[in-house]
Each structure stands twice: as C-alpha cells, then as structure tokens.
C-alpha cells in the first residue's frame, strides 16, 4: 500500500509518504505522550489519522488533523494510547481538487517505551561479539515485545530531513538477525531487556552508533556555532576535550 497510484482525469495521485523511521512493527511512545507522524503529501490536502486495535476496533483518541503545506510536508499527532501491541495506524490524505482519499497504513504497531542508544565503540559492540554472545542471541528471542532498528553509518555534510537509511527495519530480536551481519548493540539490547523486565511493556530501541567518531561529528552546526567552535576537529580526527559540553 506504500506505492499505490490513483489516476483521476489528468491527475496522478500517490499516497502520502511517511518519513523512513515509520514502518510496520514499530513502537510509538505510550500515553501520556502524544506521538506524531510526519512526511510528504500533495500541497493543500488534508491529513487525518485512524488507529485500530488488535481486534480491528477504532480506538482513535486525540488524533490531530494537518494540512500539507507548499513545501509538501506535514506532521500530525496520532493521539495518546496505553501500552499494547497489534495496533494499526492509518494516515489518510484527502485531495481537495479530486475529492479522492489515499492512505498508507502501518501494521503490527506497538505503544510502549522508545529509547535511542547512541555512542562510539562501547555502544556499537554487537551482541553476537559479546563475551556470551551466542547464548545472549538465543535468549533474546524470549523478549518478543522488543522491537529493534539500526541506522546506517553514513556521513552527510549538510543537515538531513530523515535518516540516510537503516540496516534493518523494525523487527523483534530474532536469532537470524542478532547472530549475523550487522547484528545489534549488545548494551542497547541488554538495556531493553532490563526495561521490559521492569516495565512489562513493548520496548522500541533505536541504535545509532559509530566507533571512533568525534563529538563534533554528532553536533549540529547551530550547537557548534553557539559554543564558539570554529575548528570542527575533522582535520585531525581527534576529540577536543574543551568541546565536550
């Protein structure tokens, strides 16, 4: 349903495109937070949201409405929901000129706790490479309310609107994922398992790590400018302690 195209007269209409962090099996922050989705659509159209529970019942509450601006962007609140799994979130776009509705749906969505795990090599260490990695990979499958996603290690010289990509889409900690390839941060996974033990709610973990990187590389230009940093540290490739604010 992400690529459906509708032709009305001379108009070719496509569903709204959500930013690439939004995908099936993802976790949104639970109540009392009011998470949002954002993306791109047709200027002048109206965006609404419908949330269904695991039984297919409409449980939408406090969802917002948004309009797509001239820059083709929108963001809309999806509402506030208690922790749980099996939800679907449908983002619907109404095209004023054609009178048509087009939509995109996220399935098997959970509401719970969402955490970002970021850092250098200590955080980057993959669970399969940990001391008891093989055992930990097998035991991780018990935590089927964890959902994991990992950003690619890719440099951008200008601020980006969304992540440059992911090694995996949102997924549970299954052996074929954790035991091969890029795997997932061991510290982040262990942290998520402990959170689940304590809270008993779905846990979303976002890994963004890169060993050996300098602090300046993780800092937005506005922060560097505000702190009076003129040497970004790129030339020497070393951290500058006086910049660790």
pLDDT for 4 equals 53
pLDDT for 245 equals 43
Q: Tell me which residues of the chain have a pLDDT lower than 50.
A: 1-3, 7-10, 245
Cβ pair 80, 31 in contact under 8 A: yes
pLDDT for 159 equals 83
Q: How far apart are CA 123 and CA 184, in angstroms?
A: 10
pLDDT for 236 equals 58
Tokens 């695991």 locate to 54
Q: How far apart are CA 40 and CA 167, in angstroms?
A: 23
Q: What is the CA radius of gyration of the chain?
A: 20
pLDDT for 3 equals 46
Q: How far apart are CA 139 and CA 162, in angstroms?
A: 33
Reported residue count of the chain is 245
167 phi and psi angles, rounded to 5 deg: -75, -25
241 phi and psi angles, rounded to 5 deg: -55, -35
pLDDT in tens, 66-80: 999 999 999 999 999
């Amino acid at each position: 349903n992400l690529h459906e195209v509708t032709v009305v007269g001379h108009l070719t209409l496509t569903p709204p495109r959500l930013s690439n962090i939004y995908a099936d099996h993802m976790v949104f922050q639970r109540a009392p937070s009011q998470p949002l989705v954002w993306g791109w659509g047709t200027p002048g159209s109206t965006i609404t949201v419908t949330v269904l529970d695991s039984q297919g019942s409409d449980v939408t509450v406090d969802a917002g409405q948004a309009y797509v601006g001239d820059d083709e962007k929108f963001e809309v609140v999806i509402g506030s929901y208690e922790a749980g799994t099996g939800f679907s979130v449908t983002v619907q776009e109404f095209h004023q000129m054609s009178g048509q509705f087009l939509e995109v749906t996220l399935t098997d969505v959970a509401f719970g706790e969402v955490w970002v795990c970021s850092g250098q090599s200590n955080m980057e260490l993959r669970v399969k490479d940990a001391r008891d990695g093989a055992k930990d990979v097998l035991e991780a499958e018990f935590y089927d309310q964890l959902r994991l996603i990992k950003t690619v290690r890719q440099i951008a010289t200008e601020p980006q609107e969304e992540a440059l990509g992911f090694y995996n889409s949102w997924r549970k900690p299954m052996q074929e994922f954790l035991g091969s390839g890029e795997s997932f941060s061991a510290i982040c996974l262990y942290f998520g398992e402990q959170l689940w033990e304590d809270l008993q709610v779905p846990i979303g973990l976002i890994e963004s790590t890169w060993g050996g990187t300098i602090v300046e590389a993780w800092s937005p230009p506005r922060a560097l400018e505000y702190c009076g940093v003129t040497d970004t540290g790129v030339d020497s490739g070393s951290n500058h302690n006086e910049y660790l604010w």
